[in-house]
Structure 1
Amino acid sequence: MLERRKTTRTPIAATGRVAFGLGPDIECTIRDVSDGGARLVFARKRVVLPGQFALEIEGEWPRLSCRVVWRAGFRAGVRFVRPGESALRPVVRPSARMAG
């Protein structure tokens, strides 16, 4: 199989939610991420996803704008829409910073 990714994937097993403003969020598991996108796995095979949505990853991660680039059964590949946006750089909130 030809590898088309420009950046290396990092395996993770994080809980996430697809949010698009119409109806309830859709829960998923993020299996890997790269600077350009992520691979999502859903509990149901027939999940209807919009072409573009926000991905919220549990923990200290930014909310990411995503576009679906492929679907296969329970899985979907997404590309991060905003240039320079990456799930590999978790957000450090002020409460998590160490006191100086």
Structure 2
Amino acid sequence: MDERRRHPRQRVLKRGMLTFIGGGGIDCTVRNISVSGARIDVASPVGIPEQFHLVIETDQFIRRGRPVWSSERQIGIEFD
């Protein structure tokens, strides 16, 4: 399988949160991350808006992003 990502991703297992621009948010688990995006696990991708912030408190990390793909319990995020 050819790698199509622009930047290599680092495998991680970190607790995070998707915070929504208008308020609210959901917990997530970050599975891999790079300068351009991440893959996260969620209970369900239903209802996740087109823009949000990924927050990883332990790393003091906050990035705005958008979903580029989703499956039953995972989302691929591209950072702005």
Partner of 2:63: 64
1:46 offset after TM fit, Å? 4.8
Partner of 2:9: 9
Per the normalisation by structure 2, the TM-score is 0.87
How many equivalent residue pairs? 80
1:55 offset after TM fit, Å? 0.9
Per the normalisation by structure 1, the TM-score is 0.71
Larger radius of gyration: 1
1:23 offset after TM fit, Å? 4.9
Percent sequence identity over matched residues? 35
Please provide the CA RMSD for this pair.
1.5
The gaps in structure 2 that reach 5 residues or longer are none
| Partner AA of 1:16 in structure 2 | G
Distance change in 2, residues 1:74/1:38 (3 Å): same
The gaps in structure 1 that reach 5 residues or longer are 82-100
